[in-house]
Structures are given as C-alpha cells and as structure tokens.
C-alpha cells in the first residue's frame, strides 16, 4: 500500500489472510422507500434513522420486530441530500447533515430523541459550514464534521443543544482535497480524504 501527501510518499506491506467466517446473510425484513433513495442509515435502540437523497426527509423506522419494520415518522428538512445521520453515544440526540438547502444555509440539523419514534428539531449549526456537510461523527458532546467547501474537519461543541458552536478545525494542507468520511474509535479519529 502507498500513501502520498504532496511530494512525500510512504509505503507499507500488508498481509491479508482469509477470515474463518462461515454462514450466509439472510434478510429478516424490509422497510420500503419506493419514492426515494436512502443515503445513510443509523440503528439505535430498536429504531433505524435514514438520511435520504433528493427527498428532503429523515425517516424513522421502528425495527423492534426486524421482520416487520414500521415507519413512525418522516421529518422534512431543507436539503436535497441528507448524507449522514448519526445518533449520539448516549442515544439522546440525532445529527443530520445538510447539502443543497434551498436557502443555501447547509450544515447540520440536530434533533432530540426524547421520543425515539419522532425526532424533534432542537437546533442547527450553519455558521462555518454553509457549503455543506457530508458526514458527521459523535464523541461525547462533540460532533466531528466534514466541510464540503474547505475539505477540513470541524469540531462542533454540542454541550448546549440549543446553541451548538465550533470549537476547532483541522485539515491537511493540500489544494483540492475532499474530506469524504469520518469515524472515531478508541481515541483515534479516522478521516477519508480524496485528492
């Protein structure tokens, strides 16, 4: 494998071994979305939250019976694409990204999951990410967000749900970069850049 950043190139050898996994995947149930495309999915506490593409909706399904998913809510959002929906670690909040808003104020919309079947809008954050956010990830009260316009990662403090605010940002010094995805695990933040 090779990685390049500017004029620096590093390589590493990776050994790939087959995993000792057996079995088949079987479909337990199906929640149809016949009039729209699903852009993202996040399961949490017996519910599944869907972001949509060209449909302006966040859809909520009760999947406590996986064989019979039940649509419990469709929340309209000013966005052509809701690429990312993520639930906070404590299961109380939902963050959804916005791209293609009619008012050109993209960013992130935040919902309370006090009633997990019916997300309720609490606030939005657009100040430094109006060009759009493609993906987010929660760590405690922090939301790490990808900025479509700059290709940087923004850190949004959500400790006051009514007033989220940016407390930091980071990006690689490469012109034309795109930060596509982001994930945090075991104290490490993983970022997927396209250059």
Among candidate residues 82, 132, 76, 83, the one with its CA nearest the CA of residue 107: 132
- For residue 16, the model assigns a pLDDT of 83
Exposed/middle/buried for residue 179 (C-beta within 10 Å: 0-12, 13-18, 19+): buried
- For residue 154, the model assigns a pLDDT of 94
Q: Which of 13-17, 80-84, 126-130, 167-171 has the lowest mean pLDDT?
A: 13-17
- For residue 89, the model assigns a pLDDT of 92
Q: Specify the pairing of strand 165-170 against strand 153-157.
A: antiparallel
- For residue 1, the model assigns a pLDDT of 67
Provide the pLDDT confidence category of residue 137 given band limits of 50, 70 and 90.
very high
| Selected residue with higher pLDDT from 166 and 79 | 166
Q: Which of 16-30, 40-54, 116-130 has the lowest mean pLDDT?
A: 16-30
């Amino acid at each position: 494998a090779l990685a390049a950043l500017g004029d620096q190139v590093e390589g590493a050898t990776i050994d790939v071994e087959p995993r000792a996994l057996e079995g088949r995947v079987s479909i337990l149930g199906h929640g149809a979305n016949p009039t729209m495309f699903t852009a993202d999915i996040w399961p949490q506490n017996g519910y599944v939250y869907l972001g949509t593409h060209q449909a302006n909706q966040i859809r909520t399904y009760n999947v406590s019976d996986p064989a019979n998913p039940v649509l419990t809510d469709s929340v309209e959002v000013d966005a052509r694409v809701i690429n990312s929906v993520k639930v906070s670690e404590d299961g109380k909040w939902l963050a959804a990204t916005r791209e293609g808003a009619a008012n050109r104020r993209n960013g992130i919309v935040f919902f309370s999951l006090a009633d997990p079947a019916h997300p309720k809008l609490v606030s939005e954050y657009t100040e430094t990410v109006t060009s759009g956010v493609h993906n987010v990830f929660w760590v405690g009260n922090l939301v790490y967000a990808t900025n479509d316009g700059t290709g940087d990662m923004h850190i949004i403090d959500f400790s006051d749900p009514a007033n989220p605010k940016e407390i930091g940002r980071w990006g690689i010094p490469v012109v034309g970069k795109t930060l596509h995805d982001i994930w945090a695990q075991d104290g490490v933040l993983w970022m997927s850049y396209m250059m």
